[in-house]
Structure 1
Amino acid sequence: MNRLLGDDHAGHALRAPSRLHSFNRYEIKYLVPSERLPALRAELAGRMDSDSHGADGGYGVWSTYYDTRDLRFYWEKIEGLKFRRKLRVRHYGDRTNVGDDTTVHVEIKQRVNRVTQKRRVAMPYHLARDLCDGRRMVEHDPSQAAFLEEVLELISMLDLRPVAMTGYQREAYVGRDADVGLRVTVDSRVRGRDRDFDFAADAENRLIVPARLSVVEFKANERVPYWLTDLAARLNMSVVRVSKYCQSVEAFGRAPRSIFHVPESKPSPDSETVEV
C-alpha cells in the first residue's frame, strides 16, 4: 500500500535542483562475497585508478540520515517511487576525530526515474548541526543560499529528525581515458546504529550487512562500459536493490523487514556487534 497521502505535497514542491556541487549519475549495486573481491580488485586496478583519498585500504564513510516520524523517505524507497530523496550529513574519514570544526557535507540525494542526483555543501560540523538539528540558517557563501534554504525548508516542512546512522570502509576507483566519469566503490564492514547520532559519540555500532558481503556500486554519467558489465557477469555478480539507510532502519526494528533486506548470516565472530 502506498503510504504517501495523495494531498500531501509537502517537500515535493522543492524539486528544482540547485547548481551547487551537483551531479547526476546512473548507479548499479551488487552484493559481492569477500572471496570474489581479490579478482574484482585486480581487474579494476588494471583499467582504473585508485581514488586519491583511498590509499592504504580505503577510508571511512559515515552518514546520519534524516526522516519523518513515519519514515516517509524510507517508504518512498521501499515502494520504488520514481521521485524520491534522502537528506543526510556525511563525514569522510575517522569518525572518532570529528569535532565542531571538522568538515562534513550536508547532502540531498534524490532519484528521478533511473537517474541519481546529488547536491551538497561542505561546512563545519557545528554549522551542519545548527542547520539540520537547530533548524536555523547558518553562515554561508552567497552561492550556497538556494541550497541551504531548500534544506531548511525541507526539514521544517516535514519535521525531519535524525533516524539512522551508517558507516563503512570504502575503496574507490575512478575511470581513465575513455572511462572518465566512471566510478566504482567497494563498501565493506557496513555498520549502523539507531541512536547517539553525533559522529564522535562513544556509541555501539552493529553490522547491518553480513561481514562476508561488500556492497559494490558502478556509477557512470551516461552508461556503464561493456567491459565492466562483462566483468560482473564473469564474477557472477547479481544486481540487487539495497539501501544502506533502509538496511539500518530494518536492522534496528524501526520498520518490518522488506523483500530487499539482506538477511544476517548465522552467528559467527564476524557477525557480532562491533565497536568502532
Structure 2
Amino acid sequence: MPPDRPGGGEPSDSDRPPPPGSLAPGRSDDHAGHALRAPSRLHAFNRYEIKYLMPSTAVPELRRELARRLDVDSHGVGGGYGVWSVYYDTRDLRFYWEKIEGLRFRRKLRVRHYGDRSTVDDDSTVFVEIKQRVNRVTQKRRVALPYHLARELCDRRVMVPHEPGQQAFLEEVLDLLCRLDLRPVAMTGYQREAFIGRGAEAGLRVTVDHRVRGRDRDFHLGADAENRLIVPARLAVVELKANERVPYWLTDLAADLSMSVVRISKYCQSVEAFGRVPRSVFHVSDDDPAGAPAPAAARSEA
C-alpha cells in the first residue's frame, strides 16, 4: 500500500533503537511505537520510507513540530544516540552497483551497533543484518549477537553458538559470505534523533541523522580511527517510516519546510567518498549548497 501523497516512498525497514539499558534510561510508554523494542530470536520487518535532505539550521523547527505530534524515542533523550555500521561487499562492489542500478531484487549485509562506539568491546551487543529488496518491498532481518561472535561469523566465516530459531538465518549469512567472498568494505556512523507515533500513529517513526561519517579501513566498530564526513555537516538526513501510510500532516510539514526528497544510501555515499567508484548522480557533494534540490533523477526512493 503506497503512502498517502504522490512522490512518497515505498516499503522499507526501520532502524531499531539501542537495546534497553545500552543508553540513557527512558520511559516505558513508547513500546507501542516500536514493536521490536524487546529482544527476540530473529527480527524481520518492513516499512514504507521516504528520505529527505534538509539544512541542519532548519532541524530545530522540524524538531519542534515533531514534538507536538510525536513522542521522543526514550533511547535517544539528551541528544540522540550513535548508529555505527560495517558493510560487507564483494571485491567488485556487487551490492553497491545493485543499489545504484536499482535492481528489483538486491541484498546487503552489515553489522550494526547502537550507542557510543568508544564503549564497544567483545561482549557488546551488535546486530548482524541482511537488508533486501524484492520488487517494491524492502525488508530487514537480523539477529543480536555479542560482538566477538558477530566477528567470528562474518570475518572468520564460521557458525557460532546461537539460540533456537536463528539457525536458518545464520546459514544464509554464511552462504552469502562464502559464496560471494564478502569482506568489510565501508563503515558509516551518525548521530540519530528519533520520534515515534502514538495512538493511531503507533507505527510511525521519524529519524533525523546528523554528521553522517564514514571510513574505508579499520573496521572494528570500537576502533579509535578517523572518520570523514560523507554528507556535508550542514545537511541532515530525515527519514519518515510507517507500517502502512505516511500521514498527510507529515508530508505537508516536509513540504512547508522545503525538504528535498532524495534517493540516498549512506553505504553508497561512503563507497564514493573514498574513491572506490566514480560518484553517482545520487551522491551528495560537498559543494552542493545547503538545501539545494536533488538532481531530477534522484527524486524517487529506491
> Same fold by TM-score, threshold 0.5 exceeded?
yes
Choose the corresponding residue for 1:77, options 99, 112, 121. Answer: 99
1:236 and 2:275 aligned: no
Deviation at 1:147, TM superposition (A): 0.7
Q: Is 1:180 aligned with 2:202?
A: yes
| 1:58-85 CA distance string (max 9 Å, x none) | 0000000000000000000000111111
User: Do structure 1's residue 44 and structure 2's residue 66 form an aligned pair?
Assistant: yes
Q: What one-letter code is carried by the residue in structure 2 that aligns with 1:100?
A: D
Q: Which residue number corresponds to residue 272 of structure 1?
A: none
Q: Give me the whole-angstrom Cα distance separating, in 1, the residues matched to 2:93 and 2:275.
A: 12
Q: Are residues 1:87 and 2:103 paired?
A: no
* Residue-by-residue CA offset, 1:38-65 (whole Å, 9 max, x unaligned): 1111111111111111000000000000
Q: Alpha-carbon deviations, 1:198-220, whole Å to 9, x = none?
A: 01112110111000001000011
2:291 aligns to what? Answer: none
Correspondence for 2:43: 21
Q: Which residue identity is paired with 2:140?
A: K
| Contact kept? 1:24, 1:118, Cα under 8 Å | yes
The more displaced of 257-266 and 98-107 is 257-266
CA distance in 2, matches of 1:76, 1:163: 15
Q: Distance in 2 between matches of 1:207 and 1:93?
A: 19
- What CA distance in whole angstroms lies between the structure 2 residues aligned with 1:140 and 1:91? 19
Structure 1 unaligned segments of length 5 or more: list them. 1-18, 267-276
Q: What does residue 170 of structure 1 align with?
A: 192
- Cross-structure match for 2:153: 131
Structure 2: distance between partners of 1:250 and 1:112: 25
RMSD: 1.1
Q: Is it true that 1:33 corresponds to 2:47 in the alignment?
A: no
Could you tell me whether the CA contact under 8 Å between 1:30 and 1:238 is conserved in 2? yes
1:208 counterpart residue number: 230
Q: How far apart, CA to CA, are the structure 1 residues paired with 2:268 and 2:279?
A: 9
Encode CA deviations 1:131-163: one digit per residue, 9 max, x unaligned. Answer: 000000000001111111111111111100000
2-structure distance, mates of 1:142, 1:84: 27
TM-score where L is the length of structure 1: 0.88
In 1, the alpha carbon distance for the partners of 2:206 and 2:135 equals 21
Unaligned runs of 5+ in 2: 1-40, 289-302
SS at match of 2:118: helix
Give the aligned partner of residue 8 of structure 2.
none
1:93-132 matches, within 5 Å, as 93-132=115-154
Q: Verify the 8 A CA contact 1:27 1:116 in the aligned structure 2.
A: no
1:254 to 276, 298, 301: 276
Paired letter, 2:83: V
Q: Deviations over 1:15-53 (max 9, x none)?
A: xxxx92111111110011012111111111111111111
CA–CA distance in structure 2, aligned partners of residues 115 and 25 of structure 1: 8
State whether residues 106 and 121 of structure 1, in contact with CA within 8 Å, keep that contact through their aligned partners in structure 2.
Answer: yes
Equivalent in 156, 159, 181 of residue 178 of structure 2: 156
Distance 2:245 2:261 in 1: 15
For residues 73-126 of structure 1, the C-alpha deviation after alignment (integer angstroms, 9 at most, x for no partner) is: 000000011111110000000111100000000001112223221100001000
2:37 paired residue number: none
Read off the aligned partner of 1:115 and give its amino acid letter.
V
CA distance in 2, matches of 1:26, 1:115: 8
The answer for the alignment partner of 1:199 in structure 2 is 221
CA distance in 1 between counterparts of 2:209 and 2:125 reads 21
Matched, 1:53 2:85: no
- Count how many residue pairs are aligned between Structure 1 and Structure 2: 248
Measure, in 1, the Cα distance between the counterparts of 2:124 and 2:235.
Answer: 31
Counterpart CA distance in 1 for 2:180 and 2:287 is: 36
Letter aligned with residue 277 of structure 2: A
- State the TM-score, normalizing by the size of structure 2: 0.81
SS in structure 1 opposite 2:76?
coil
CA distance in 1, matches of 2:205, 2:261: 17
Amino acid at match of 1:236: S
Contact 1:168 1:189 in 2 (8 A): yes
Please list every run of at least 4 consecutive aligned residues from structure 1 whose deviation after the TM superposition is greater than 6 angstroms.
none
